[in-house]
Amino acid sequence: MWYLFQNNKGQVLQKCILLLLLFISAINISARPKVTATIDQDTVVMGDRFVLHLSSLSHISDEIEWPFIAGKLQDIDVVGNSKLDTTYLSGDSLKIEADIYLSVFEPGVVAVPGVEFRYKYKGRENTVRTKPAMLTVAGIAIDTTRGLMPIKGPIDIPVKWTEWLPRYLFFAFSFLLLGLLLFYFFKRAKNKKEPQIEMEVIHPPHEIALGELQDLKAKKLVEAGEHKAYYVELTDIIRAYIEKRFSFPAMESTADEIIEGLKKTDANPKLIDKMVAIFDEADLAKFAKAKPDDTLCKKGMKDSMDFVQHTKLKEQEAETIERIVEAENPLKDDLKSEE
């Protein structure tokens, strides 16, 4: 073999093998997603906010997983995160961008660490990290030679008529409008001869939720590839049910706040774990543009129905509450006395 590489043919074969190895290495390198991290300024004053801009460029099959950074990034305080900005490029490429708002409260030179991204390539999990960035944090200069200064008193500012006139006009218009409204309702009440009774049917929360889940299932959004729309409607139905059933504002709460609220109820912990899984899958579909498996989506529908069935109020299992409302009847007491 050594003799083969010493002659001309051996040298040609050696160069071909070397070129082949370089070509394979280049393919593997180019297959990795490209991630970058840049800061909007090199120098900030202590306590001021600055922006770390993250960007990733990958193939749509890589299933890149964006990191969620909260609390602290090593010694740097995380103030907030922007929404993901996703752009589909030609050649099945996917570009995702987002901003992380940071703040430092110690002067000096600070290293903003690299951020790690996870992705899949040919079914295997890999990681890629951005390069760190350097930031200079300037302190706040304090003049210690002047000593303590006295507190300044209030400044007397004269009021002009152009300032108070709109206020008087506003109050005059408000009183006039209030008088007209009182006259309208009094006249309307006098013209009524008998009370109007309406029958309002109120369905229990579990009946509403199960009906909406059946309607969502009939839309077949998963079969159409509309995973994001599917999870948006599914989580909205779950939130509305939890808010009505357990009486806390689930529609305005985050997923973590909802789970913490459920843990304080008598709901089965296994059912709560199913809700955790559904909210996690929904976040991936809505924000990371992931496409969960259709079997997983159908399981989420079944788990949602099980959660509603096993947490409904027992006294509302097979009944509909009816409520009688007397609408727009300010002369109710007078009519009863005449009878």
Mean pLDDT of the chain: 78
Q: Which of 30-34, 128-132, 133-137, 172-176 has the lowest mean pLDDT?
A: 30-34
Model confidence at 318, in pLDDT bands (50, 70, 90)?
A: very low
Q: What would the pLDDT profile of 189-248 be if each residue is shown by its tens digit? A: 777 655 555 555 678 888 888 899 899 889 888 888 888 888 888 889 999 988 888 888
Q: Is the pLDDT of residue 320 over 60?
A: no
Model confidence at 50, in pLDDT bands (50, 70, 90)?
A: very high
Q: What's the CATH superfamily of 32-138?
A: Immunoglobulins (2.60.40.10)
Q: Return the pLDDT at 144.
A: 67
Q: Which of 172-181, 190-199, 283-292, 299-308 has the lowest mean pLDDT?
A: 190-199
Could you tell me which CATH class the domain 205-316 is placed in?
A: mainly alpha
Give SS3 for 41. Answer: coil
Helix (H) / strand (E) element for 20: namely helix 8-31
Q: Return the pLDDT at 165.
A: 81
Model confidence at 51, in pLDDT bands (50, 70, 90)?
A: very high
Q: Return the pLDDT at 23.
A: 44
Q: Is the pLDDT of residue 97 over 90?
A: yes
Taking the CA atoms of residue 223, residue 227, residue 230 and residue 236 in that order, the dihedral angle to the nearest 10 degrees is 170
Distance CA 30, CA 18 (A): 18
Q: What would the pLDDT profile of 270-285 be if each residue is shown by its tens digit? A: 888 888 888 888 888 7
In 158-208 the beta strands, taken as DSSP E runs, fall at 196-202
| DSSP of 202-228 | E--HHHHHHHHHHHHHHHTTTTTT-HH
CA 37 from centre of chain: 22
Q: What would the pLDDT profile of 121-152 be if each residue is shown by its tens digit? A: 877 888 899 999 898 998 877 666 776 777 87
Each domain of the chain, given as residue ranges in start order, spans 32-138, 205-316
Q: Return the pLDDT at 198.
A: 59
Taking the CA atoms of residue 37, residue 43, residue 48 and residue 51 in that order, the dihedral angle to the nearest 10 degrees is -20
Q: Return the pLDDT at 336.
A: 44
Distance CA 188, CA 174 (A): 21
Answer for the pair 259, 283: CB distance below 8 angstroms, yes or no.
no
Distance CA 100, CA 68 (A): 10
